[in-house]
Structure 1
Amino acid sequence: MLSRHLLPLAAAAVGISATTLDAVLDSQNATLSILNNYLTSQQELFNTLINTPNLTILAPSNDAINGLLASEAFSAQLQADPGILTAILKYHIFNGTYYTSNFTGAAAPVFVRTLMDNATYSNVTGGQRVEARAQDGGVAFTSGLREEAAVRTSNFNYTGGTVHVIDSVLAIPANLTATLQAANLTAAIGALRRAGVADSLGSGSEQLTVFAPSNGGFNAVGSLVAQMTAADLERVLGYHVVRGRVMYSDLIAAANGSRQAMQRGGDVEFRAVSDGEVALFVNSARVVGRDLLFDNGVIQVLDNVLNPANTSAAPNPAAATQAPAFSGANTSAGGVPFTSGVPGPSATGAGGAAPTATAAAPARTAALGVVALVGGAAVLVNL
């Protein structure tokens, strides 16, 4: 690493401003005083930041931190696990220098690698990701449980990179079950439990892509899947999982026309069809909810259940809803299968409604995200 004294020389050599990180933070102290006070009190962490080149720091404003202080639910967890605060901070640091123009000029969302690589909180190789995209002429970031933060002021360049001030604190992605629950994918949770595979996709697993059928998708074939043995159901669900590769929506679009091996049941074909906007398909199922980040990878929500015995099923892009890939399937007379005893979303969006998997829209106040960050904010303001 470059020493603090050498950074201005190194920056000057490549034409970057020689302003130091502490000078940038001091210049924005009216907006960032809570974060600034914390960082300057943690000399080891601060030295790491100022001596590590090529970083982007997302700095939650005072209002962003204070906005979370109404809840004290995280206090006990923070006392039991102080390491979560460091993980939260690292999730706000990108591995690379990204100016807002890198995102406003991109045609699709960009999934940026962060410094949060602690296996306690993430098993995504190279560091957990944050989704960045252009929005309303600016830039927005989406983190765990589709929580959203917008850039308010940007491109405060310093010798090691740049700082953007954001209006909300990013939420560390939760585990698979909590993420499915927040998206109201209760049938997927119940099916995983019925098949006995929920634990195999838990926090110890690495690099996962889970194609999770919506409740409506499970219901469309309810007459068949509800009667499956655990072994049959495990084979079907295994045809919805990619191990060893985290496939964000941009990768699926880029894989148009190619096939991908699944954990069980052979491979699937990806299709990207442009009709005003790009629609994504996995075999004949449409991706109706994109890029739900969880601790070990990403969830893509499908409108139908994939059938490992029908690997050549093709979509009808003109249809609003795709036909089931299982012949002779009907809805279950007993309602959506696998949902009995599975609680629905505990989180609510800004309007008070539970977030839906179909829209997979960013939510500002998902409960787990708020809980996971309020404790950290309380520590910051109590210094």
Structure 2
Amino acid sequence: MNTFKRYCLTAAIAAATVVNTHAADIVDTAVGAGSFQTLVAAAKAAGLVDTLKGDGPLTVFAPTDDAFAKLPEGTVETLLKPENKAKLAGILAYHVVPGKVMAADVVSVTGAETVQGQQVDVKVDGSTVMIDGATVVKTDIDCDNGVIHVIDSVILPADKNIVETAVGAGSFKTLVAAVKAAGLVETLSGDGPFTVFAPTDEAFAKLPEGTVESLLKPENKQKLIDILTYHVVSGRVYSSDAVAAKTAKTLQGSSLTVNVGDSGATINNAGLVSTDIDSSNGVIHVIDSVLMPPAKGANAQGIIHGAIAQGSQLFNAGHHEACADLYTQTMHTLMDADLEPTLQHHLTSVMENARTQHCPTTRAWTLRRGMDQMYAQLASK
């Protein structure tokens, strides 16, 4: 997996490593171990045996029989019923990660995306490795189509959708009210998946007095829809992927800019408070400000003039990286303005050139020159 990096296991975990010198596939290895009878029965009931016996490679975080016994009474029996096959398959797939991920890889990350689609959290505390709330008790059981790590509890994927998750959190009351007023509850409760950059109640409270009340009025429904869909991206985009991509196109149609600076990560000008909150149909990232979409056909000259005025102050104060980030965000804003093709091409060329500049000072000047040239072209028309 491309999100995993090599790292050395601690001596204590290495001592717990089990190596099977006569490797079989994952299912046969589990059957032979004798302590995964419930897991094997569940894999059969879920129709996943062929998958787990296939080429892979796969990494399985395997709960023991004792782990399944810790579930509430009757849970296993209910899951094994034919009518619950899809739910059981989802739970088991949540224990499987694509690729052969050895213990040395696991301890170097904070999360891993599963075959089920959601991400498991990985936490290392000394010699203890936790996968969600389960403790890894044995590692690196080698199979010819992957590897098994043994865990002491069954881990469960999120089963509430984005709206239900937001309601349950208790800190998104304004956002939930806005989603209802905009008629987006059904959309955000649907299959998705979606990624939502969710402003807290405190974020909405930072807006000018009366703004929220005005937006909730029926006559402002379309404006509210535009603002809310500007916070939503199609697909399940985890924080590491968002940072790598640097931009994300929203359901509203305009793009968001993702930056990482000395003070942390930002989405446009909003700070990321919490990330990678899974739901059954997507993922939520919490932000501390409400994002406002750029107006189509916005005054490009005014946007450039304002950005240069603010950026010059940052640059002269020695904040070159912040200046470059501001100019980058401005360029993305201009991409959503109604500009003629030659100016759009100019924007694209300048941004591509800036991406190759690793020095913040050089990047800031590259973007500044591009905006100066664009301003001159606009002024001549």
TM-score w.r.t. length of structure 2? 0.62
Q: Where does residue 30 of structure 2 map in the other structure?
A: 25
Q: Where does residue 50 of structure 1 map in the other structure?
A: 53
Q: Does 1:297 align with 2:298?
A: no
User: What secondary structure, in the 3-state scheme, does the structure 1 residue paired with 2:286 have?
Assistant: strand
* Correspondence list, 1:344-363, <5 A: none
Q: Where does residue 239 of structure 2 map in the other structure?
A: 249
Q: Which residue of the other structure, out of 120, 130, 135, is the alignment partner of 2:124?
A: 135
- Supply the distance in 2 between the matched residues of 1:51 and 1:72 (Cα, whole angstroms): 28
How far apart are 1:288 and its partner, in Å? Answer: 0.9
- Supply the distance in 2 between the matched residues of 1:76 and 1:23 (Cα, whole angstroms): 22
Q: Where does residue 356 of structure 1 map in the other structure?
A: none
User: What secondary structure, in the 3-state scheme, does the structure 2 residue paired with 1:226 have?
Assistant: helix
Unpaired runs of at least 5, structure 2:
1-19, 296-302, 323-381
| Code of the aligned partner of 2:229 | G
- Supply the distance in 2 between the matched residues of 1:45 and 1:238 (Cα, whole angstroms): 37
| Code of the aligned partner of 1:177 | V
CA contact (8 A) 2:123 2:129 kept: yes
Q: Compared with structure 1, are the counterparts of its residues 72 and 59 closer, same or farther at alpha carbon in structure 2 (3 Å cutoff)?
A: closer
Q: Does 1:182 align with 2:168?
A: yes
CA contact (8 A) 2:97 2:113 kept: yes
Q: Where does residue 231 of structure 1 map in the other structure?
A: 222
Q: Where does residue 160 of structure 1 map in the other structure?
A: 145
Q: Which has the higher contact order (CA 8 A, sep 6+)?
A: 1
How far apart are 1:160 and its partner, in Å? Answer: 1.2
- Supply the distance in 1 between the matched residues of 2:283 and 2:118 (Cα, whole angstroms): 10
CA contact (8 A) 2:46 2:86 kept: no
* Correspondence list, 1:273-352, <5 A: 273-274=261-262, 279-309=264-294
In proportion to residue count, which structure has more helix? 2
Q: Does 1:219 align with 2:219?
A: no
User: What secondary structure, in the 3-state scheme, does the structure 2 residue paired with 1:24 have?
Assistant: helix
Unpaired runs of at least 5, structure 1:
1-15, 117-127, 143-147, 319-383
Q: Compared with structure 1, are the counterparts of its residues 215 and 150 closer, same or farther at alpha carbon in structure 2 (3 Å cutoff)?
A: farther
- Supply the distance in 1 between the matched residues of 2:181 and 2:87 (Cα, whole angstroms): 32
Q: Which residue of the other structure, out of 50, 59, 73, is the alignment partner of 2:62?
A: 59
User: What secondary structure, in the 3-state scheme, does the structure 2 residue paired with 1:35 have?
Assistant: helix
Q: Percent identity, please.
A: 25
Q: Which residue of the other structure, out of 231, 235, 238, is the alignment partner of 1:240?
A: 231
Q: Which residue of the other structure, out of 28, 38, 41, is the alignment partner of 1:34?
A: 38
How far apart are 1:202 and its partner, in Å? Answer: 2.9
- Supply the distance in 2 between the matched residues of 1:239 and 1:82 (Cα, whole angstroms): 37
Task: Number of aligned residue pairs: give it.
Answer: 275
- The two structures, once aligned, show a CA RMSD in angstroms of 3.6
User: What secondary structure, in the 3-state scheme, does the structure 1 residue paired with 2:210 have?
Assistant: helix
